[in-house]
C-alpha cells in the first residue's frame, strides 16, 4: 500500500518534470514558429484567467459570468498608465492588479450575499456595466476605436518585443499562478472553501466565515485575470472593448468547464484545448463551408459546453484524475479526495 503510494507520487513527480521540460522546450520543438508561439502565449494568458476562475468555481463553488471585465481592467490600467502616464510596465501591472482586487471587493461585498442564479446574474450585470464603461469612457479607454500604441514590457531595460522571451515570461506567470493556486487549495483557506462547497450552513455553524473566504477568492481570481490582461495589452500593444465583453467572459467559462474546475490544472488544460480547438476550427470549417464567417466556432463551443456538462461535469482533469486513481487503486486515494473540489456549484439537494 505505502509502496504503491510512493510509486504513484514518484510517477507524479516525473510527470510534472516531463511537463515542465516540454513546456520550456516547446519553442525549440516548433523551431520558433511565430504562429505557434503566439498561440502558446495566448494559451498561457487564458490559462492565468482560467486558473483564477478554477479556484472561484471549483473551490468556492461560485460562477462568474463577468470575468472578462477584470481581464479588461488589467489591460486598460496597463495601457493607460504606461502609454499616457509614463509608468513603468511592472508598476502598471501591479496597479492594475490592485485596482481589480479593489473592484472585486466593492462588487463582491454586496454580491456574495446572493445565491446561485442571482449571483450568476449579478456577475453578468457587472460584466455588461464594465463593458459599457470600457466602451464609453473614451478619454481613458479610447472607446470603440480601441487603444493604440501600448509600449512593450521591459526587463532590465530591455523591451520584450519578440515572441520567444514573451513566451517564457507568460509561462513563468502561469507556473507561478498554478503553484500559488495549489498552495491556496492545500492551505487553511482551501479547507474552508471545500467546507463551504460541501455545505454552507454546516461550514458557517463551524465558524467558517463564508463571505470572507468567498470574497478573498473572488479578489484573487480578479487579480489573476487582471495580470493576464496587463500582459496581453503589452503583448499585442492594441486593445479594444470587444475583447472584454460578455462573450469573452463566456469563453473563459467554457475553458474552465472543459478543463474541469476540480483541479488547479483545469485552467491551463482548458485554455490549451479551447485555443487549439478554436484555431483548428478556423482552419477546417471554411474548407467545408466556404461562406462561414464571423464567430461561427461558437456552435461547436456551445455544443461542447452542453455535452461536457451533461456527460463530464468535472471536465478533462476530472476524467484524468478518475483514470489515474483507478490505475493506482491505493490507500492514498483518500488523501487525494480531500484535496479534490466538487463539481461546479455542488450537487442540487
Partner 1 sequence: MEAWSQFVQLLFSGLTVGSIYALVALGFVITYSVTGILNLAQGDFAMLGALLCMTFVNSGMPFVLAIGLSIAAVMAVGALFERLAIQPARRSSVAVLIIITIGASFVFRGIALLAWGTDPYALRPFTGHGALEVFGAVIQWQSVWAIVISLASFAALHLFFQRTYIGKAVAACVINPFAARLMGIDIRKMSLGAVAVSAGLGALAGIVIAPISGASYDMGMMIGLKAFIAAVVGGLTNAPAAIAGAFLVGLLESFAEGYLSSGYKEAISFGLLLLVLLFMPNGLFAKMTGKRV
Q: Binding residues for partner 1, per CB under 8 A? A: 57, 61, 63, 65, 110-111, 113-114, 116-118, 120-122, 124-126, 128-129, 131-133, 135-136, 246, 250, 253-254, 257, 289, 291-306, 309-310, 313, 343-348
Considering beta carbons, is residue 156 or 288 the nearer one to partner 1? 288
Q: With left for phi above 0 and alpha for psi between -120 and 50, is residue 142 left, alpha or beta?
A: left
Q: Which is nearer to partner 1, 135 or 325 (CB)?
A: 135
Query: Quick one: the chain helix, strand, coil %, rounded to 5?
Result: 75, 0, 25
SS3 239: strand
Distance (Å, rounded) from C-alpha 75 to C-alpha 185? 27
Compare residues 165 and 346 and give the one whose CB is closer to partner 1. 346
| Helix, strand or coil, per DSSP, at residue 341 | coil
Q: How far is the CB of 128 from partner 1 (least distance, A)?
A: 5
Shortest distance, position 39 Cβ to partner 1, whole Å:
22
Smallest gap from residue 293 Cβ to partner 1 (A): 6
Nearer to partner 1, 164 or 309 (CB): 309
In the complex, the smallest distance separating the C-beta of residue 57 from partner 1, rounded to whole angstroms, is: 8
Neighbour tally for 139: CB within 10 Å: 9
What are the start-end ranges of the H helices in the chain? Answer: 2-29, 34-54, 67-83, 89-111, 116-136, 138-141, 163-185, 188-198, 200-205, 210-236, 246-259, 266-288, 298-311, 315-327, 333-339
Q: Which three cell numbers stand for residue 187?
A: 492551505
Query: Measured from the CB atom, is 86 or 294 closer to partner 1?
Result: 294
Query: Measured from the CB atom, is 97 or 250 closer to partner 1?
Result: 250
Amino acid at each position: 500500500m505505502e509502496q504503491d503510494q510512493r510509486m504513484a507520487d514518484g510517477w507524479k513527480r516525473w510527470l510534472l518534470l516531463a511537463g515542465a521540460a516540454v513546456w520550456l522546450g516547446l519553442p525549440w520543438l516548433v523551431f520558433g514558429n511565430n504562429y505557434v508561439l503566439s498561440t502558446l502565449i495566448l494559451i498561457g494568458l487564458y490559462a492565468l484567467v482560467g486558473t483564477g476562475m478554477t479556484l472561484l468555481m471549483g473551490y468556492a463553488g461560485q460562477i462568474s459570468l463577468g470575468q472578462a471585465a477584470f481581464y479588461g481592467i488589467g489591460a486598460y490600467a496597463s495601457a493607460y498608465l504606461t502609454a499616457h502616464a509614463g509608468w513603468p510596465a511592472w508598476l502598471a501591472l501591479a496597479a492594475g492588479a490592485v485596482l481589480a482586487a479593489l473592484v472585486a471587493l466593492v462588487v463582491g461585498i454586496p454580491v456574495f450575499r446572493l445565491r446561485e442564479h442571482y449571483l450568476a446574474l449579478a456577475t453578468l450585470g457587472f460584466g455588461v456595466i464594465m463593458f459599457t464603461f470600457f466602451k464609453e469612457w473614451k478619454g481613458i479607454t479610447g472607446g470603440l476605436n480601441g487603444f493604440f500604441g501600448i509600449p512593450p514590457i521591459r526587463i532590465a531595460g530591455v523591451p520584450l518585443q519578440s515572441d520567444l522571451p514573451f513566451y517564457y515570461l507568460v509561462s513563468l506567470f502561469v507556473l507561478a499562478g498554478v503553484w500559488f493556486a495549489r498552495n491556496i487549495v492545500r492551505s487553511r483557506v482551501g479547507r474552508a472553501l471545500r467546507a463551504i462547497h460541501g455545505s454552507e450552513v454546516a461550514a458557517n455553524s463551524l465558524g467558517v466565515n463564508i463571505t470572507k473566504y468567498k470574497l478573498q477568492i473572488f479578489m484573487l481570481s480578479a487579480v489573476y485575470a487582471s495580470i493576464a490582461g496587463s500582459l496581453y495589452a503589452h503583448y499585442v500593444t492594441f486593445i479594444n472593448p470587444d475583447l472584454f465583453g460578455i462573450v469573452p467572459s463566456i469563453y473563459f467559462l467554457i475553458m474552465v468547464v472543459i478543463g474541469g474546475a476540480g483541479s488547479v490544472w483545469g485552467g491551463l488544460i482548458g485554455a490549451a484545448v479551447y485555443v487549439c480547438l478554436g484555431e483548428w476550427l478556423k482552419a477546417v470549417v471554411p474548407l467545408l463551408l466556404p461562406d462561414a464567417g464571423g464567430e461561427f466556432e461558437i456552435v461547436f463551443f456551445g455544443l461542447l459546453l452542453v455535452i461536457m456538462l451533461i456527460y463530464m461535469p468535472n471536465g478533462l482533469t476530472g476524467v484524468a484524475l478518475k483514470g489515474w486513481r483507478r490505475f493506482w487503486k491505493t490507500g492514498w486515494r483518500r488523501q487525494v479526495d480531500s484535496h479534490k473540489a466538487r463539481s461546479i456549484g455542488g450537487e442540487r439537494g
